[in-house]
Amino acid sequence: MKKNILILLAVVLLVLLVIDGVYQAKVVQDGPNNQAIALTIKSGESAREVVGDLLAAKVINSPNVAKLYFWQSGLGKKLQAGAYHLPARVSLKNLTEILAAGQAINQEKTVLVKEGMSINEITAYLKQQNLITDSSFADLAHTKITALPIEFKNYDFLADATAGADLEGYLFPDTYRIYNQDNGQALIKKMLSNFDSKLTPDLRAAIKAQGKTIFQIITMASIVQKEVRSNADMKIVAGIFYNRLALPQRLQSCATLAYCLGVNKDQYSLADTQVDSPYNTYRHDGLPPGPISNPGLDAIEAAIYPQKTDYLYFLSRSDNGQTVFARTLAEHNANKAKYLK
């Protein structure tokens, strides 16, 4: 009896080895005119149903061999839903690996762009998370608005940007869903369309009524976004910056220093404040040449509807991040000595 079992196992092993050799060869059909083959696997389909899809799409010519390989390889339980463009010539082994790896052309991925991220920070995030690894996002985002492709001309909120401006500030922070095949342009279109919907007609009317431009508001909002956290603080800080502009007094924003230097610090040195950059609001009057980040809706609304106070100074406590306001430089210096360790 044991001898018969051993013989049977040997035969099975031999058959599997032979089958494996077949798998290494091409056992799927050629695509029509040697073109890629379209295949859609629906969510929840079993391996048997996937074999049916493959047969119907004329991807395979031997469903039994496919079923056996799905079982023998253990990959049959790992086949992933999605829409695929399969190579016209591929072995069953490679075909199964593609389906198990989920290399679908429209498999969705989640992109989380946080409020206050700059173009460079978004680019680094996309690459680190393997979401968009080529240069398509950075290349388009850093393109001057006046030189954008024709399909971007319908975003009328870009019309009042200055001549040298790029898309910094307009890439609305949010959670996005993109497909595997999407490049940076596809994501940027989603972000600009989102910005377009968030900047409602009422907000645009308020900006116009104040004699400001959308570009000026987004530039202010981008600074406010980086300076403080809460919506209430954003409105007060926006008011402080407008107070300074009205005096006139330089904005002296640490957020713009961080943008110039490429590093965040709890406190900046005197030497830091002298960095040679048009974005250094310690050296230059007025707003910087353009946004320093991509602000969220709270910061944009704060820039449009600031809270009026007689404050001129503020700082964030080093222990808990709470914002402390001051009316005079003497009061501000006292706060620095007390709360910045």
pLDDT tens digits for 285-321? 999 999 999 999 999 999 999 999 999 999 998 888 8
Q: What is the dihedral of CA 233, 277, 273, 310, to 10 degrees?
A: -30
Separation CA 260–CA 272 (nearest Å):
9
Amino acid at 107: Q
CB 315 within 8 A of CB 335: yes
Gap between the Cα atoms of 112 and 15, Å rounded: 50
> Is residue 21's pLDDT more than 50?
no
Single-letter code of the amino acid located at 67: K
Task: Say how far apart CA 183 and CA 131 lie, in whole Å.
Answer: 9
Please, which residues have CB within 8 angstroms of residue 78's CB and are 6 or more apart in sequence?
A: 100
The mean per-residue pLDDT over the stretch 177-193 comes to 89
pLDDT at 183 over 80: yes
Q: What is the predicted pLDDT for the residue at 4?
A: 66
- Lowest-pLDDT choice from 10-24, 33-47, 75-89, 150-164: 10-24
Q: Which DSSP symbol is given to 116?
A: T
> Contact 99/80 with Cβ under 8 angstroms?
yes
Distance of CA 241 to the CA centre of its chain: 29
- Check: pTM over 0.85? Answer yes or no: no
Enumerate residues 6+ apart whose C-beta is below 8 A from 59.
Answer: 28, 29, 37, 39, 86, 95
Give the integer Cα–Cα distance in Å for 30 and 16: 25
Domain boundaries, the chain: 22-101, 108-198, 210-339
Superfamily of domain 22-101: Endolytic murein transglycosylase (3.30.1490.480)
Give, in degrees to the nearest 5, the angle at Cα 220 between 216 and 223. Answer: 145
Rounded to an integer, the average pLDDT of 197-208 is 98
pLDDT of residue 7: 67
Q: How far is Cα 53 from Cα 36, in angstroms, rounded to an integer?
A: 16
Q: pLDDT tens-digit profile of 59-102?
A: 887 788 888 888 888 888 888 887 787 776 778 888 888 888 87
On the question of pLDDT at 25 being above 50, the answer is no
Looking at the predicted structure, is the pLDDT value of residue 114 above 50?
yes
Question: Which tokens in the block code for residue 30?
Answer: 């050629």
